[in-house]
């Protein structure tokens, strides 16, 4: 158990139903006893673990009653941090919780650092690093699919798979080490172990293919709305959001900066980015906007290229299309202002042959469902349809470690098959094992762990 006792407000600031001050450490219960007076019955230190008591927080120096609260006690090791934990449930609102925090700090606790409660759960072995990261991913989840993936990881499903892969690698290493120690007794290092390594390799590959979806689930699909000025990009953003978010006007060059909003599509978070119309411009401000548009195009997973059906394709449209096409990006051509087209127009512009086109009216709300369906098709397109109970790789850090692990594992397998001396094979296997340990935290360096927990909020 770590020496000092930490405390923080665990609920967000502002007005709310309840505000919680949480303490963890071996003095947590003693500190609580000094300031908490139960209305009746046992004081907190005599209460059984996992019980809740009603009482008052009283400033021992002044005798002043600060708040009426519920205090809960969870004794080590059966708590979130695996240390003694006391939670004081105050009336919501920043003043009561701030006063209670002040009192516990004055009577023996110190303010927790960001993520320190979860860090203690990790250091005390209740969670491994991947599970601790999942705590943050649960808090930050932006879609139901993202939440499901993070909760699975919190429950240890990813860690379990990593453990299984490590076992295969360890099995091979043990066999190699035995054959080095007692070469005459062990004989050939077995095909059994080699098979285990091949299974490990397949398991890693299976995890890596989930990253594409995991990234989408975690970060959201970036959709850039691009086109020449005045075709109705901002109108389309507003129509999809069903909200007057961006300024719309008949003046070309209305949108100067990129505007980003999130939208849920089929359980996935989409980040819709409205951009400044692309054109050659002498206006300094507008050209900054155009540069940002290009950046949005670079970062986008999907581009909605908006054209104006009422004017048809202009040379400017062609230039923009040439800029977009030929990149490895998904593109949907959106023919806008269909409400203005009187005669029966052709469904598609032959110019955009090979690209999906959906015709809409951002103004009248025509064709938006069809566009959403097309977007969803592309989001899911070509991806192995995973279920909510499948493990997903949702952090780039995990993907990177798995890729490194795979490289070394493949090198080891090739070397083994090529008859390279097994002590050399072992070098790659050790490296592969260390990369797996970075995911669960067994071989993660202090600075990496610092970086991970500094992302958390205070009180988590």
Ligand X SMILES: Nc1nc2c(c(=O)[nH]1)N(C=O)[C@@H](CNc1ccc(C(=O)N[C@@H](CCC(=O)O)C(=O)O)cc1)CN2
Ligand Y SMILES: Nc1nc2c(ncn2[C@@H]2O[C@H](COP(=O)(O)OP(=O)(O)OP(=O)(O)O)[C@@H](O)[C@H]2O)c(=O)[nH]1
Neighbours of 440 (CB within 10 A): 22
Residue 248 binding ligand Y, by CB under 6 A = yes
254 assigned binding-site residue: yes
Which SS3 state, helix, strand or coil, does residue 122 take? helix
80 binds ligand X (CB under 6 A): yes
Question: Is residue 358 within a helix (H) or strand (E), and if so which, with residue range?
Answer: strand 357-359
The least distance separating ligand Y from the CB of residue 444, rounded to whole angstroms, comes to 46
327 is in an annotated binding site: no
- Report what 190 binds from Mg ion, ligand Y, ligand X, none; CB cut-off 5-8 Å by kind: none
Helix H or strand E segment including 333: strand 330-336
Q: Does the footprint of ligand X cover residue 87 (CB under 6 A)?
A: yes
Structure tokens at 206: 């299976």
Which residues face 172 on adjacent strands? none
Of 39, 250, 344, 445, which lies in the binding site for ligand Y, with binding defined by CB under 6 A? 250
Contact between 225 and ligand X by CB under 6 A: the answer reads no
Edge-to-edge strand list for the sheet holding 302-308: 259-265, 268-274, 221-226, 302-308, 330-336, 357-359
Q: Are 221 and 267 in contact (CB under 8 A)?
A: no
Name which of residues 119 to 138 contact ligand X (CB under 6 A).
126
The four Cα atoms 204, 218, 132, 460 give a dihedral, to 10 degrees, of 180
251 alpha carbon, distance to own chain's centre: 39
Question: Are 103 and 86 spatial neighbours (Cβ–Cβ below 8 Å)?
Answer: no
Decide whether 194 or 345 has the Cβ nearer to ligand Y: 345
Residue 135 CA to residue 147 CA, distance in Å, equals 10
* Residue closer to ligand Y (CB basis): 272 or 362: 362
For the window 25-54, what string marks contact with ligand X as x by the rule CB under 6 A? -------------------------x----
120 is in an annotated binding site: no
- If the CB atoms of residues 334 and 425 are measured against ligand Y, the closer one turns out to be 334
Q: What gap in Å lies between CA 151 and CA 254, rounded to an integer? A: 43
232 is in an annotated binding site: yes
Task: Tell which one of 52, 60, 78, 383 touches ligand X (CB under 6 A).
Answer: 78
- Does residue 341 touch ligand Y according to CB under 6 A? no
- 86: closest CA among 119, 16, 38? 38
Q: Does 293 bind ligand Y (CB under 6 A)?
A: no
Choice between 148 and 393, CB closer to ligand X: 148
The answer for residues whose C-beta is within 8 angstroms of residue 322's C-beta and 6 or more apart is: none
- In 3D space, the residue among 245, 186, 166, 227 whose CA is nearest the CA of residue 429 turns out to be 166
The answer to the question of residue 440 lying near ligand Y (CB under 6 A) is no
Q: Counting contacts by CB under 6 A, is residue 230 touching ligand Y?
A: yes
The verdict on 235 binding Mg ion (CB under 5 A) reads no
- Near ligand Y by CB under 6 A, which window of 59-67, 251-259, 367-375, 422-430? 251-259
- Cis before residue 110, ω within 30 degrees of 0? no
User: Among all residues, whose Cβ is closest to ligand Y?
Assistant: 277
Could you say whether residue 294 binds ligand Y (CB under 6 A)?
A: no
Cα gap 312→146, rounded to integer Å: 41
β-strands 330-336, 302-308 pairing: parallel
Identify the DSSP state of 91: E
Residue 125 marked as a ligand binder: no
Is residue 79 a contact point for ligand X (CB under 6 A)? yes
Residue 126 annotated as binding site: yes
- Does the annotation list 160 as a binding residue? no
Q: CB under 6 A: which stretch of 76-84, 194-202, 358-366, 381-389 binds ligand X?
A: 76-84
Provide the minimum distance between the beta carbon of 343 and ligand Y in the complex, in angstroms, as a whole number. Answer: 15
Residue 153 interacts with Mg ion (CB under 5 A): yes or no: no
Q: Please pick, from the candidates 361, 435, 452, 456, the single residue that binds ligand Y as defined by CB under 6 A.
A: 361
Task: Work out whether strand 51-58 and strand 65-74 pair parallel, antiparallel, or are unpaired.
Answer: antiparallel
**Shortest distance (Å) from residue 244 CB to Mg ion:** 13
Name the token pair of 312: 């048809």
257 makes contact with ligand Y (CB under 6 A): no
Rounded Cα distance, 40 and 383, in Å:
60
Contact 304, 225 (CB under 8 A): yes
Q: Which residue among 29, 66, 71, 74 contacts ligand X (CB under 6 A)? A: 74
234 part of the interface to ligand Y, by CB under 6 A:
yes
Question: Which of 53, 157, 161, 233 touches ligand Y (CB under 6 A)?
Answer: 233
Which one, of 125, 92, 79, 129, lies nearest residue 14 by Cα?
A: 92
The whole-angstrom separation of Cα 400 and Cα 265 is 28
- Find out whether 252 is annotated in a ligand binding site: yes
Strand positions, DSSP E, 65-161: 65-74, 85-91, 110-111
Q: Contact positions toward Mg ion, by CB under 5 A?
A: 233-234, 254-255
Specify binding-site residues for GTP. Answer: 230-235, 249-255, 274-277
Specify binding-site residues for K(+). Answer: 230, 249, 251, 254
Q: Contact positions toward ligand Y, by CB under 6 A?
A: 227, 229-235, 248-250, 252-255, 276-277, 336-337, 339-340, 361-363
Q: Contact positions toward ligand X, by CB under 6 A?
A: 50, 74, 77-80, 87, 126
Specify binding-site residues for Mg(2+). Answer: 234, 255
Specify binding-site residues. Answer: 22, 87, 126, 230-235, 249-255, 274-277, 460
């Amino acid at each position: 158990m770590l020496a000092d006792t930490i405390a923080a407000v665990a609920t967000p600031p502002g007005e709310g139903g309840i505000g919680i001050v949480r303490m963890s450490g071996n003095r947590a219960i003693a500190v609580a006893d000094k300031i908490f007076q139960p209305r009746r019955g046992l004081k907190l230190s005599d209460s059984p673990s996992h019980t809740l008591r009603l009482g008052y927080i009283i400033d021992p120096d002044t005798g002043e009653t600060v708040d009426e609260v519920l205090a809960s006690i969870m004794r080590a090791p059966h708590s979130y941090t695996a240390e003694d934990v006391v939670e004081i449930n105050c009336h919501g609102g920043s003043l009561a919780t701030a006063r209670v925090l002040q009192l516990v700090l004055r009577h023996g606790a110190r303010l927790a650092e960001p993520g320190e409660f979860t860090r203690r759960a990790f250091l005390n072995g209740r969670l491994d690093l991947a599970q601790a990261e999942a705590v943050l991913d649960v808090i930050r989840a932006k879609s139901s699919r993202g939440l499901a993936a993070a909760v699975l990881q919190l429950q240890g499903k990813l860690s379990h798979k990593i453990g299984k892969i490590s076992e295969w690698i360890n099995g091979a290493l043990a066999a190699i080490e035995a054959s080095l120690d007692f070469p005459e007794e062990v004989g050939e290092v077995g095909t059994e172990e080699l098979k285990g390594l091949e299974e490990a390799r397949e398991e890693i590959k299976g995890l890596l293919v989930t990253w594409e979806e995991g990234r989408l689930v975690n970060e959201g699909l970036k959709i850039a709305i691009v086109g020449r000025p005045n075709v109705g990009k901002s109108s389309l953003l507003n129509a999809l959001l069903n909200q007057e978010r961006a300024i719309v006007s008949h003046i070309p060059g209305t949108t100067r900066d990129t505007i980003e909003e999130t939208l849920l599509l089929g359980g996935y978070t989409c980040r819709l980015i409205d951009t400044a119309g692309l054109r050659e411009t002498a206006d300094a401000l507008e050209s900054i906007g155009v540069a940002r548009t290009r950046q949005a195009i670079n970062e986008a997973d999907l581009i909605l290229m908006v054209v104006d059906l009422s004017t048809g394709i202009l040379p400017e449209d062609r230039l923009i299309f040439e800029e977009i096409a030929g990149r490895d990006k998904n593109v949907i051509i959106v023919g806008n202002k269909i409400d203005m087209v009187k005669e029966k127009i052709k469904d598609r512009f032959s110019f955009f042959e090979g690209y999906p086109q959906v015709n809409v009216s951002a103004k009248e709300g025509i064709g938006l469902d069809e566009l959403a369906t097309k977007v969803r098709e592309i989001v899911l397109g070509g991806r192995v349809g995973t279920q909510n109970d499948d493990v997903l790789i949702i952090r780039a850090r995990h993907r990177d470690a798995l890729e490194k692990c795979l490289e070394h594992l493949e090198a080891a397998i090739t070397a083994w098959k090529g008859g390279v001396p097994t002590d050399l094979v072992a070098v790659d296997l050790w490296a592969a094992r260390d990369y797996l340990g970075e995911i669960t935290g067994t071989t993660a360096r202090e600075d990496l762990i610092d970086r991970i927990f500094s992302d958390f909020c205070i009180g988590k």
